[in-house]
Amino acid sequence: MKISREFIERIPKTDLHLHLDGSLRLSTLVELAREQGVELPAWDEAGLRRLVFKNAYADLPEYLQGFAYTTAVMQTPEALARVGYELAVDNQREGVRYIEVRFAPQLHQNARMTSIDVMAALDRGLARAKDEFNARPEVKRGNEPPFEYGIIACAMRMFGKGFSNYFDSLLDVHAHSERKWVFGLASQELVRAAVEARNRLGLPIVGFDLAGAEAGYPAGDHAAAYALAHKHFLKKTVHAGEAYGPESIFQAITDLHADRLGHAVYLFDPHMIKSPDIKDKKAYIDNLVQFIADRRITIEVCLTSNLQTIPAIRDLARHSFRHMRKAKLSATFCTDNRTVSQTTVSNEIQKAVQAFHITPKELKNFVIYGFKRSFFPGSYIKKREYVHQIIEYYEKIEKQFQ
């Protein structure tokens, strides 16, 4: 069977690495900016794509610059709910049946909203989209699987003045403290808020993440926060191996108990190992890959994003996914940022199929990994039932295209 674009769009899919503030519609960004008096470098979509949301970036820091504009317009409950609703609808339209929306509530926290208020506002938008989709006759009759979602609270590896009102206040209070200690303190506060939002309000807060500038800001600074998340049964993912090497990945899965890894692009690159204590770099990588494989730690692969932010990857055929595939690692395709990277889940899958000549059997495994390794908000039994429903629907689509 040939894997066509139509087939890719029809099959049920997941997006487990999906940043809210990198995935809002540009038309919504412009509209909200006008309403709220936020200055943009351009007031039309073409201008924004030319100046901010480009096809290629010099490096990760340039890629992250656009987030200053998107977070600026999401400082009210109404804006957060709207962006969440539209993001869910955009995913539904291309056959995505499960998403995990990650974002940093502390970037939206202000005098009017606590972190819990911020998470609740996003949930209202996502829940509305879910209820509308699942009210469709096809879903109610059981002919199609329902749409589900979870929310991942994301901490920042580092922050400075101007990041948000919350971070400005925290830095003022701890002006004489070591910065890395303040970074870790903010992460611990976010864990407490996420746990309370889940336990007291019943919000589907399914996991905890760490994002932002990786080089120079080790994940170990946030070990206490991850220990707290671990204690409260929050599942854990970490951006690692995107701008640093295998040592960063090792720290994520040991000190931070990561269940999944965001990107892990440099997992197989011995030149990115910096520690002089690691003499045999190849053996270190081999052992690390084996450790990840044994524990089925899933890698959230974001091909387009990596191609844009890592100059060394000049074409997808050189992406480290080829090594992940050969090592039989658990991996699933994600967008990272639908707007910033100008992509969709269907685009990511199609690029992978073309660049790596993925077979139909392999594609099915990668897609189902997304559902199996998701941080599903329901019980394990309900998750199993949902995964079985997804597999049945996938196989139904397969038969139609064979």
- Count the Cβ atoms, other than its own, within 10 Å of residue 304: 23
Q: Write out the two tokens for 100.
A: 């995990």
Degrees, nearest 5: CA angle 205-68-81: 40
Q: Is 247 a catalytic residue?
A: no
Residue 139: name the closest of 150, 128, 147, 129 by CA.
147
Residue 208: name the closest of 222, 246, 199, 341 by CA.
222
Q: Write out the two tokens for 187.
A: 């992460």
Helical H segments across 3-114, by residue range: 5-10, 26-36, 45-51, 60-64, 67-72, 77-92
* CB under 8 A, 24+ apart: contacts of 200-203: 201/116, 201/120, 203/119, 203/120, 203/123, 203/151
- Contact status, residue 259 vs residue 237, Cβ threshold 8 Å: yes
Q: How far apart are CA 241 and CA 252, in angstroms?
A: 9
- With 0-12 / 13-18 / 19 or more C-beta atoms within 10 angstroms meaning exposed / middle / buried, residue 271 is exposed
Length of the chain: 402
Residue 169: name the closest of 133, 115, 94 by CA.
115
What's the DSSP call for residue 252?
Answer: H
- Contact status, residue 267 vs residue 324, Cβ threshold 8 Å: yes
Kindly name the residue from 100, 144, 214, 242 that is annotated as catalytic.
Answer: 242
Torsion over CA of 133, 139, 141 and 142, rounded to 10 degrees?
-160
Active site residues per annotation: 242
